[in-house]
Amino acid sequence: MKSIRKFTVRAVVPPSLSALEQLAGNLRWSWHEPTRRLFEHIDPEGWRLSRRDPVAFLGEIDPARLSELAENGDYVAWAERERADLNAYLSEPRWYQSLGAAVPRAIAYFSPEFGITAALPQYSGGLGILAGDHLKAASDLGVPLVAVGLFYKSGYFAQSISPDGWQLERYPVIDPDGLPLTMLRGIDGTPVRITLALPDEGSLHARVWQAAVGRVTLLLLDTDIPANTDAMRSVTDRLYGGGGEHRLLQELLLGVGGARAVRAYSELGGTSAPDVYHMNEGHAGFLGLERIATYIAEGLTFAQARQVVRAGTVFTTHTPVPAGIDRFDRGLVARYLTPSLLPGVDPSDALALGLEPGADPATGAFNMAVMGLRLAGQANGVSRLHGDVSRRMFGDLWPGFDADEVPITSITNGVHAPTWTDPALLSLAEQRLQTRDTEHANWNSDSLSDAEIWNVKRDMRVQLVDYARRRLTANWEQQHDGASAPAWVRQVLDPDTLTVGFARRVPTYKRLTLMLKDPDRLSAILTDPDRPLQFVIAGKSHPADDEGKRLIQQLVQFSARPELQGRIVFLPDYDMDMAEVLYPGCDVWLNNPLRPLEACGTSGMKAALNGALNLSILDGWWAEFAEDDFGWVIPSADSAGDAAERDTLEAVALYDLLQHRVASCFYERTDDGIPTEWLRRVRNTLTRLVPELGADRMVCDYVERLYRPAADHAAVLSADGARAGRELAAWIERVQTAWPAVHVAGIESGGVDTPRVGDKLWLRVWVELGGLSAADVSVEVVYGRSHSDESIHAARVASLVVETESGNPDDGPAQTAGPTVYVGSVVLDRAGSFGYTVRVLPRHPLLRVPAELGLVAVATS
């Protein structure tokens, strides 16, 4: 019999243990091991069964046990020490406070998903986990971040595997009252409600949940309230669920509603008005339109408001392929982008922001990433290689510029070490290295023996084996109506065998089944009598991705071979709880995507934090950090004739590495059974690589390279009633109107009859300015090595100066008639082929980069 309604009854905690409720209410417990130890002490087995969720845990504890602890003075004092530590953490100055006053007062961070803890299942994969790590690191650093997302009633989905290996999805309903959330309420105590006006006089309403992530507040909008119709209540039902219109409504709520939620939270005193808005992918792009509407209400035009909004907006793309970007039917978007939703915004202006370059304005799709880039003054990819890919992928937004000039930089992702470092490794650092900072410890110290590291790694492997056996036994018994699992299921894996991990989302480009290219060879590697391997694999395929599900099925069916039972296992329902055991328990982390389609791939970073070595294609983060001391590189077969040949060549390379390099290194032991060379690599990974992989490094990069410049630029443009923003918008309109007439009319060169190194190339250039003044433009010579296709390699730029300026009605009396003449020179400082061209660019002191407007006039001859 099913209940008609479900809710959570919270435990009554004795007053002397009130510290437990405060500690449970702040998600710092998800990465603060001393707090977790405090809860674990109450009931270790109950703590494990609660999946280390203190809110759920306190609800299940026998009241008699709590009463007993309330009378235990030592435990009460322990709880109070942890409460005092949390309060100090929340209030004390940290890194950000050392930067002085010239920093953003607050940053609003928008993401469609957040992976903070398995107890708050509002994530699907890497994007959400990265967002969660961003919040945690910001909290540790004291960065004044307020985060915004949606509360999904059923999260992503719970995965199980059918007897024939097919992925099955379940959507368990999540009760927000049973989570570490509180409702955002107004001064009068009533819940804050965010409302979006929809077509046909309808409305979408949302309440706002807030979670304390250390010092950071996370706001989650939830439409499952009585004020909505049944259809509108389901808008926040599932992460990445539903069709196009459902997804559009989610993204309107995230962007428009999220910006309004931040404003409401700020007005209630929760934060200063943000100086910077950060879009973690394009899903939140509509927040830019909401902010434009706000400035229009203050008297600015759309063009003026757009400049002010752009200045303070950061856009991060995580997508290496166009197919991964949200694109909506233009007519559908037009139906929702009405003046009722966004007062003062002309729908045609809003729709133009999402139009892809070259697309038909009447029928072209509305591209969320394109809108995000057009509304952001700062943009970045998430690894150095991904930055290169992004500049090429979005280069059409800046026509006429080479890829390296496209204004998209890169900040390589990082992972939050306190979250992802296993407690056993933390304990080893505390005992032997006298530090809890595993991320920056000297693991090469003589005070720590190889045997001690090796024993801890084995303990973490044992932990993974035990976890895998429990998980697989439960899945088997669920499939077989509660019958007892056979012995081989309860005995899978071996805690003394080289363990390779592979866990991530399962789109086809990540190539889950590359290892199956030659099944017989893989089988031989796994069952080698002297140097065996075992694979632990996990991952979810999107419910609509049948091809991804087929890959999972192939792998599960392969693992069912009698000779391989227990050597290769697929763990169902991959989530953060599993990940915290999987990464530490693996010796090697495998990543074999199609290069360059992995934007970053932070799973290998988390494994490295726990002393695992990486075995990966040179893609994502590994492309910039790979060294022999940190693992092995799988060669990319980029010159292969087709995809099948590429897969074959790269699979063979994978097998060779596993068999002849990885296994031999792991099993080469001293008389004491210690793999000295393997542990040398583990030590170097922990000492030299891990400090580069931290989310603290990543967030510091965002602050210094993107947030501070964005805040400074926004302050200039918005000051004094947005005077500079108005002037910049007017100047841009004038330049864009005149630009079709701007061109290089002629070039005269000298000094290169018989050029030698050290000679100068002299240039005189005639430029028609189309009614602009010389102050509006820069004229440059672009030069470098010339390829056979006439392209310029390793281009450099030198500015030319005005020799004589043409007449211009705005400049008073003309000096001369006709084009403006520019002159300059370039030193020929290298031998070999040389090529150059001349170009004209808009110039204004408030333009962030020369390519910003996407306008350039290049000489044609």
689-706 pLDDT, tens digit per residue, is 999 999 999 999 999 999
Query: In this predicted structure, what is the pLDDT of residue 791?
Result: 81
Query: In this predicted structure, what is the pLDDT of residue 103?
Result: 96
**Are both 86 and 102 inside the same structural domain?**
no
List the one residue out of 311, 274, 380 whose CA is nearest residue 710. 311
Does the residue 436 lie in any domain?
no
Picking from 47-61, 279-293, 793-807, which range would have the lowest pLDDT averaged per residue? 793-807
**Are both 305 and 183 inside the same structural domain?**
yes
Rounded CA separation 722/809 (Å): 28
Rounded CA separation 370/361 (Å): 14
**Are both 314 and 334 inside the same structural domain?**
yes
Does the residue 429 lie in any domain?
no
Please identify which residue in the block is written with the tokens 């002159």.
823
Rounded CA separation 781/801 (Å): 11
Average pLDDT over residues 188-217: 95
Per cent of the chain over pLDDT 70 is 97
Tokens of 404: 């390296």
Query: In this predicted structure, what is the pLDDT of residue 814?
Result: 42
Rounded CA separation 835/859 (Å): 13
Distances in Å between the Cα of 247 and the Cα atoms of 252, 370, 657 are 9, 17, 43
Amino acid at residue number 548: G
- Asked whether 535 and 526 are in contact (CB, 8 A), the reply is yes
Task: Give the DSSP per-residue string, 714-769.
Answer: HHHHHHHHHHHHHHHHHHHHHHHHHGGG-EEEEEEEES-SS--TT-EEEEEEEEE-
Which conformational region is residue 282 in: left (phi greater than 0), alpha (psi within -120 to 50 degrees), or beta?
alpha
Does the residue 352 lie in any domain?
yes
- Asked whether 575 and 505 are in contact (CB, 8 A), the reply is no
- What would the pLDDT profile of 69-125 be if each residue is shown by its tens digit? 999 999 999 999 999 999 999 999 999 999 999 999 999 999 999 999 999 999 998
Tokens of 406: 């496209």
- What would the pLDDT profile of 369-379 be if each residue is shown by its tens digit? 999 999 999 99
- Asked whether 759 and 752 are in contact (CB, 8 A), the reply is yes
As beta bridge partners, residue 219 has 148, 210
Query: In this predicted structure, what is the pLDDT of residue 815?
Result: 44
Rounded CA separation 167/20 (Å): 39
DSSP single-letter state for residue 706: I
Sequence-separated (6 or more) residues with CB below 8 Å from residue 557: 164, 165
- Asked whether 251 and 245 are in contact (CB, 8 A), the reply is no
Angle in degrees, CA 131, 596, 388, rounded to 5: 75
Rounded CA separation 26/210 (Å): 11
Which SS3 state, helix, strand or coil, does residue 219 take?
Answer: strand
Helix locations, 3-111, DSSP H: 18-25, 33-40, 44-49, 54-60, 63-70, 73-91
Q: For residue 243, what are the domain limits?
A: 95-158+167-414+702-722
Please identify which residue in the block is written with the tokens 């965010």.
194
Q: Answer with the one of 74, 91, 108 that is the final residue of a domain.
A: 91
Compute the radius of gyration of the chain from its Cα atoms: 30
**Are both 546 and 456 inside the same structural domain?**
yes
The CATH number of residue 287's host domain is 3.40.50.2000
**Are both 85 and 111 inside the same structural domain?**
no
pLDDT tops 60 at residue 603: yes
Does the residue 626 lie in any domain?
yes
Angle in degrees, CA 746, 748, 751, rounded to 5: 165
- Asked whether 588 and 603 are in contact (CB, 8 A), the reply is no
Average pLDDT over residues 377-392: 97
Average pLDDT over residues 129-158: 97
Query: In this predicted structure, what is the pLDDT of residue 809?
Result: 42
- What would the pLDDT profile of 424-479 be if each residue is shown by its tens digit? 999 999 999 999 999 999 999 999 999 999 999 999 999 999 999 999 998 888 88
**Are both 308 and 377 inside the same structural domain?**
yes
Strand ranges of the sheet holding 498-503, from the earlier edge strand across to the other edge: 568-571, 533-538, 498-503, 588-591, 613-617, 631-634
Rounded CA separation 501/669 (Å): 22
According to DSSP, the β-strands at 533-538 and 568-571 are parallel
- What would the pLDDT profile of 226-252 be if each residue is shown by its tens digit? 999 999 999 999 999 888 999 999 999
CB 754: neighbour CB atoms within 10 A?
6
* Max intra-chain CA distance, the chain: 97
Average pLDDT over residues 547-558: 95
As beta bridge partners, residue 185 has 191
- What would the pLDDT profile of 296-353 be if each residue is shown by its tens digit? 999 999 999 999 999 999 999 998 888 889 999 999 999 999 999 999 999 999 999 9
The CATH number of residue 798's host domain is 2.60.40
Rounded CA separation 348/286 (Å): 15
pLDDT band at 851, cuts 50/70/90?
Answer: very high
**Are both 325 and 190 inside the same structural domain?**
yes
pLDDT tops 50 at residue 496: yes
Question: Which helix (H) or strand (E) segment is 353 a member of?
Answer: helix 347-353
**Are both 708 and 758 inside the same structural domain?**
no
- Asked whether 492 and 472 are in contact (CB, 8 A), the reply is yes
- What would the pLDDT profile of 720-768 be if each residue is shown by its tens digit? 999 999 999 999 999 999 999 999 999 999 877 788 888 899 999 999 9
Average pLDDT over residues 599-611: 97
Query: In this predicted structure, what is the pLDDT of residue 10?
Result: 63
Rounded CA separation 604/622 (Å): 8
pLDDT tops 70 at residue 816: no
pLDDT tops 60 at residue 812: no
DSSP single-letter state for residue 343: T
* CA 200 centroid distance within chain: 37
Which SS3 state, helix, strand or coil, does residue 406 take?
Answer: coil
**Are both 611 and 462 inside the same structural domain?**
yes
Number of domains present in the structure of the chain: 4
**Are both 714 and 643 inside the same structural domain?**
no
Please provide the average confidence, as pLDDT, over all residues in the chain.
94
Rounded CA separation 308/291 (Å): 9
**Are both 126 and 56 inside the same structural domain?**
no
Average pLDDT over residues 352-377: 96
Query: In this predicted structure, what is the pLDDT of residue 811?
Result: 47
List the one residue out of 309, 293, 678, 251 whose CA is nearest residue 457. 678
Using CA atoms in the order 727, 729, 735, 739, what is the torsion angle rounded to 10 degrees?
A: 180
Does the residue 819 lie in any domain?
yes
Rounded CA separation 719/483 (Å): 71
- Count CA within 13 A, CB hemisphere, residue 460: 32
Does the residue 52 lie in any domain?
yes
**Are both 712 and 583 inside the same structural domain?**
no
- Count CA within 13 A, CB hemisphere, residue 815: 11
Does the residue 443 lie in any domain?
no
Does the residue 3 lie in any domain?
no
Query: In this predicted structure, what is the pLDDT of residue 288?
Result: 98
